[in-house]
Amino acid sequence: MSSIGKKNSGVVAPVAVSPVVSAMAALYENLSLDSLGLSREAYQYAIQGHDRLLKEGKLRNDDILSIVDFSLPSTKKRLFVIDLASGTLLFNSLVSHGRNSGKEMATDFSNSPESFKSSLGFYVTGKTYRGQHGYSLKLEGEEDGINNNAMERGIVMHAANYVDEKLARLQGYIGRSLGCPAIPTKLHKKIIGKIQNGTCLFMYSPDTKYLSASRMLQAAA
């Protein structure tokens, strides 16, 4: 994908896309991410937002791109960690959403403290620490009014035993968090170790309120 079509007076005009973004876009096909369930829209938004964060100097490690696709149910592996430099999918894992965002599907989102809901949008990963949930990863929300309260809310990536395939088969959905993207205990150290310290994390949903409010997506469009 070397350009993105934009309508103008009924005519679709090409909008230039950097070679880096173009190469990243090709990975969607090369890695057959559609067969794993990752939304093409989620991926396209993710690479555009990643490119913007990179240009703004906010990424210390631009090789890694992580996407949480909340258009998928919690029983599906909806966390995708991609190494853009090597063109490989490093991890495809279950990941939780907030208890008040929905049951099987995450459909309601919030930036408010004590909402116990997931927040959409772009994050830059921070440092690791050991807290209530053990080895965890701080997340810095990059979208004002959408996820910029992540630090205040204590939204981090951590392990949880309720993020489990057996539980998903038993009850039709995995356990839910207080808003954190919790991941399986057997994978959390490897995933957190790979995405820590300045990589891009994008939490996506085809939520019309988010899509219309996000300055990141408007600027990238």
Statement: residue 104 has pLDDT above 70: yes
Statement: residue 117 has pLDDT above 70: yes
Chain segment 153-195, per-residue pLDDT in tens: 999 999 999 999 999 999 999 999 999 999 999 999 999 999 9
pLDDT at residue 77 in the model: 98
For 17, half-sphere exposure in the C-beta direction (CA atoms, 13 angstrom radius) is: 24
Q: SS3 of 209, please?
A: helix
Statement: residue 9 has pLDDT above 60: no
pLDDT band at residue 18 under the 50/70/90 scheme? low
Per-chain mean pLDDT for the chain: 91
pLDDT at residue 218 in the model: 83
User: Which residue in the block uniquely carries the two structure tokens 């310290």?
Assistant: 197
Chain segment 126-149, per-residue pLDDT in tens: 999 999 999 999 999 999 999 999
Statement: residue 12 has pLDDT above 70: no
Statement: residue 4 has pLDDT above 50: no
pLDDT band at residue 86 under the 50/70/90 scheme? very high
pLDDT at residue 21 in the model: 65
Task: In whole angstroms, give the CA distance from residue 137 to residue 99.
Answer: 20
pLDDT at residue 2 in the model: 33
Task: In whole angstroms, give the CA distance from residue 102 to residue 90.
Answer: 28
pLDDT at residue 122 in the model: 98
Task: In whole angstroms, give the CA distance from residue 79 to residue 202.
Answer: 10
